[in-house]
Amino acid sequence: MQRRTIWSFVLVAILFVTSACESRSDVAPVSVVPESGGGGGSGGTMGDSTVIGTVTIEGTAPMAETIRMNSDPVCLKEATMTDTEYYIVGEENALGNVFVYVKEGISGTYPPANETVTLDQRGCRYNPHIFGLQVGQTLQIVNSDDTLHNIHATPVANAEFNTGQPIQGMTLDRQFDQPEVMVPFKCDVHGWMNSYVGVLPHPFFATTGPDGTFDLSNLPAGNYVVEAWHEMLGTQTQNVTVGDGETTEVSFSFNVG
């Protein structure tokens, strides 16, 4: 245990001198999302309307790559999943890990949710890979591995932070002050680790699972612009109208060039 502790602090020192990895250059561009609507500070209302849908992919997605984790023996031992997560394709070309949210049309101000969102570093991966939270909502970052991790957020509209977590069980709480889709996370110790969070001023967002489906519930009736964001394939938007108490279904299809 003493040797592992010494090694952890050596890695911390290295971390502050130089980065152990290069950031990805082929990911979809990050865009800042301003608060939609013109509520003028009035309270946002929840409704009983819903937008549901499915995201699919056209063409053949690149095969997942196997991540080599031999730079860290703890990762080699603890990792349960070593495939890249850039393309999660299910049955009937369903596309997972797509962040879907209401980009325009929401009025009023919505207080942040009370629930804490957890970003877990386990098995030398970030979990979840793609997720969302509200402005001002607490994000707790956890190191569940018995090795050094660091959480390096590189936002555009929000403040950047880069914090080491050398000890298993360490936690770090952070909030974001501005809407932003998406905020990238990376680990400067393990270059294969990356994740994205969409920060919204309202609760109307979702991430597709392997079945490609999403559900934006509790919307007020209205006219909206809904956007789907994928890490490698960029964004698509659709205009959606949903009546009071109604459910409107939409679909997005990304093409692999």
Q: What is the pLDDT of residue 23?
A: 38
Residue 120 and residue 252: Cα distance in Å, rounded?
Answer: 29
Q: What is the pLDDT of residue 67?
A: 94
Tens of pLDDT, residues 152-211: 999 999 999 999 999 999 999 999 999 999 999 999 999 999 999 999 999 999 999 999
Tell me if 236 sits within 8 A of 227, measured CB to CB.
yes
Q: Which structural domains are found in the chain, ordered by start?
A: 2-22+33-255 (2.60.40.420)
Residue 25 and residue 46: Cα distance in Å, rounded?
Answer: 39
Give the number of other CB atoms < 10 A from CB of residue 40: 8
Sign of the CA dihedral 198, 202, 56, 233? Answer: negative
**Three-class HEC string of 39-77:** CCCCECCCCCEEEEEEEEEECCCCCCCECCCCCCHHHHH
Tell me if 187 sits within 8 A of 152, measured CB to CB.
yes
Q: What is the pLDDT of residue 257?
A: 74
Mean pLDDT by 10 residues, the chain (257 residues): 44 39 48 54 83 97 92 92 93 97 94 96 96 98 96 96 96 97 96 97 97 97 97 97 97 93
Q: What is the pLDDT of residue 42?
A: 62
- The residue among 130, 143, 232 whose CA lies nearest residue 190 is 143
Q: What is the pLDDT of residue 72?
A: 95
- The residue among 230, 231, 192 whose CA lies nearest residue 83 is 192
